[in-house]
Amino acid sequence: MRRFIVLLCIAICLIGLWLMRTAFQPKEPVSASKVVTVPQTSLSAPTRTKVGKPPAARKPLQITSKGKIRLKPGESAVLGYWEIAPGMNGMAIVTPETTPEGHVKMTSKLLRLSDDAVSDADAQDLFPDIFDFEIYGAIDPDRLRGLQSALQSTRGVDMLSMPGLVSHPGQRAMISIGNSNESTLSLRLQADPVADDGGYDLSLEFQRQEP
């Protein structure tokens, strides 16, 4: 019986020693799980460059002015208009006269004038107002001579003499000036004699075409 008790005590002591050893043994640290961030690469479709249509070829700019002026014998018709270029003005002067053969001879001149030249030549009344494009009028021989003299001595005036033409009374005729690199100017004229005073009803159709 004593032997059993001794063995039991020894067993209890061994169990106690094992428990104490387990209790005081350092615990292994719990390793935190590492969170690995994987960079996300977003794949976007490449932006497609819009390919516009090639610009269409610019059509020539064409401007037409029409008018009719009653002229007394010796008077000239004057057409004043705004040029396409900023600060520039245009003028057409037509003088009809009857030849001994009964035909109508029309002498025409075309001019380009800057704004300063118009003011220096005192010709503001021969050009349209700001809200108009052209103006038609008649001037007598004295005013025409004074105007031509003033324009010849004024800077900023480009005078283009257009060839004269001869036509039958009431017949339409056309003259033009220009080349492929510049604007083309065409002037259609028709002079109908007035039996009462020997003057004319002059019809003008002026056309400008830019290249």
| DSSP code at position 144 | H
Lateral strand order in the sheet of 134-139: 134-139, 76-82, 88-98, 104-114, 157-167
Residue with tokens 């719990």: 30
DSSP one-letter string for 179-204: -TTS-EEEEEEEEEE-TTTS-EEEEE
Residue 128, judged by CB atoms within 10 A of its CB (0-12, 13-18, 19+), counts as: middle
Residue with tokens 């031509």: 148
CA 148, 151, 152, 158 dihedral sign is negative
Tens digit of pLDDT for each residue in 87-104? 888 888 999 998 888 889
pLDDT at res. 6 = 55
For residues 196 and 31, the model is more confident at 196
pLDDT at res. 64 = 82
Classify 116 as helix, strand or coil.
helix
Residue with tokens 């107002």: 129
pTM: 0.66
Tens digit of pLDDT for each residue in 135-183? 999 999 999 999 989 988 888 898 776 778 888 888 888 877 765 456 6
Q: State the Cα angle at 177 between 89 and 105, rounded to 5°.
A: 95
Mean pLDDT of the region 109-124: 90
